[in-house]
Amino acid sequence: MDNLREGIQNHIIELQLEIDNIFARGRNSVVSEVTVGQIYGGMRGLVALACNTSYVDPYSGLYIGKYTTNEFSDKLPEEIFFLLSTGKFPDKESLADFQNDLNKRAKVPQYTWDVLRSLPKDTHPMTMLSLGILSMENESVFKKEYRKGLQKADYWKYTLEDAMNILAKLPELAAGIYRIRFGDGNLISYDSNLNWSGNLAHMLGVNNDEGFADLMRLYLVLHCDHEGGNVSAFTSRVVNSALSDLYYAVSAGLNGLAGPLHGLANQECLRFILKIHDKFGDDPDEEVLRAYILDVLNSGKVIPGYGHAVLRVTDPRFTAFMKFGEANCANNHCFKIAKKLFSVVPDILMHYKEGKVANPWPNVDAMSGSLLHNYGLNEFDFYTVLFGVSRVMGFCAQNILALGLGQPIIRPKSVTNKWVIDKFDEN
Ligand code: CMX
């Protein structure tokens, strides 16, 4: 992985130069104000972080480096990790070198399997993924080097080592979790002739169809990163900013991803679609669907897969999945219902309670589950694990770059109600 390391080193130098220029133009310039509403409202819209792996434009969606979702959705996840962490796609040689390195590190230690097999049978797969990673924390190269007395300028290099060890093991770990939790517990062997996503598809043992392997590739590409302020990425960065190593930081990020308003929404989406199928069959009438959606909203529940804290258009990742569905499983009943929801839900949310929903359009989760279901991956409790495998690429790249840029521990200031009231009184 020499080329990857060199690519990151060069990227850090480029980014540092940009930051030096920004500081020269005005380190104390004001770029954003904080309202009382934002202090009490999850800091929504507050510009308070720099993240150079990816950027979410409210109207055109996810960019990795300069590339739009459309421009990178046909790549391999390995190429995406390279792009996230170096700002460039790898050439053929660098890609092969990186994949070889992953191959060498892919084996999950036996003690991790022992931990996972000792859990109650109904443990959520996201708990297993988070715990599986945390169980390997003792292997952290960063931690060992830090104890010996590591220079700050070298933090990122050993964090990269940890990242490689974690990423390499993810396909085996995730597939093993699936087989322990939902199958007979027998694991399928890693195949060093396959790439990262190909191995995941192979070791799950659900389907040998080429379409399924391509769906895994697309799934792992589309979920890789979504800038720095989302719950999981931000959590991971906060934890790593205390120099807790990447095993702690990745596990923490995954715990955030496991919430139903974030990554778990994808399992909720398929549950929702299957419920609609049970109630109204394969091809529900639009009026019936409309009435049902209103009932769900009026009962105080959210429509999973719709809305977003940043996006204000249909998520291009949703569009990429829909394109895949049209080409591979246009007649699947879940896909058809997901498509029909797309034609009904935005209009309802747009007008619901005087437009209180800021974004009525579908996000990535509204379509992904239907595609997995089509290939026989029916255990929707597992879906967020796939999201997690992909998102770990973003956690790793964000943390490596932040350490490379010498970013300090994160510690924003909180205030009491009294402080806010006093502020009003002062003015
Ligand atoms: N269905 C019903 N109501 C919704 C809604 C939806 N899909 N999306 C937003 N709303 C409601 C909110 O609950 C909120 O209501 P209250 O004021 O009563 O609390 C109101 O609209 C305003 O919220 P918002 O500003 O539009 O959205 P937020 O930025 O606060 O939240 C999100 C964003 C994603 C949590 C929210 O849209 C939601 O809960 N969606 C459904 C769950 C989902 O799909 N999550 C996956 C997100 C993708 C990801 O993780 O990246």
DSSP string, 181-240: HHS-SPPPPP-TTS-HHHHHHHHHTS---HHHHHHHHHHHHHTS---S-SHHHHHHHHHH
How far, rounded to the nearest angstrom, does the alpha carbon of residue 339 sit from its chain's CA centroid?
23
Active site residue 365: yes
pLDDT(266) > 90: no
Rounded to an integer, the average pLDDT of 275-279 is 96
pLDDT, tens digit (0-9, with 9 covering 90-100), for 61-70: 999 999 999 9
User: Ligand 1 atom closest to Cα of 358?
Assistant: 26
Higher pLDDT, 265 or 24: 24
Pick from 356, 364, 368, 387 the residue to mutate for probing ligand 1's pocket: most ligand atoms within 8 Å of its CB: 356
Rounded to an integer, the average pLDDT of 312-319 is 97
Nearest CA to ligand 1 atom 38: 307
270, 321 in Cβ contact below 8 A? no
| Residue carrying structure tokens 């002739």 | 193
Active site residue 277: no
pLDDT, residue 427, reads: 83
Q: Which residues make Cβ contacts (< 8 Å) with residue 272, sequence separation at least 6? A: 303, 304, 305
Q: How far is the CA of 13 from the centre of ligand 1 (A)?
A: 38
Nearest to 247 by CA among 159, 155, 173: 159
Q: Which residues line ligand 1 (CB under 6 A)?
A: 44, 226, 230, 261-263, 265, 297, 302-309, 356-359, 363, 365
Nearest CA to ligand 1 atom 27: 309
Q: How far is the CA of 309 from the centre of ligand 1 (A)?
A: 7
Q: How far is the CA of 36 from the centre of ligand 1 (A)?
A: 20
Active site residue 11: no
Q: How far is the CA of 385 from the centre of ligand 1 (A)?
A: 22
pLDDT, residue 338, reads: 97
Q: How far is the CA of 358 from the centre of ligand 1 (A)?
A: 8
3-state SS, residue 107: coil
| Beta-bridge mates of residue 55 | 63
Nearest CA to ligand 1 atom 25: 358
Level-2 CATH architecture, domain 92-214+227-261? Orthogonal Bundle (1.10)
> What percentage of the chain carries pLDDT values higher than 70?
100
pLDDT, residue 298, reads: 95
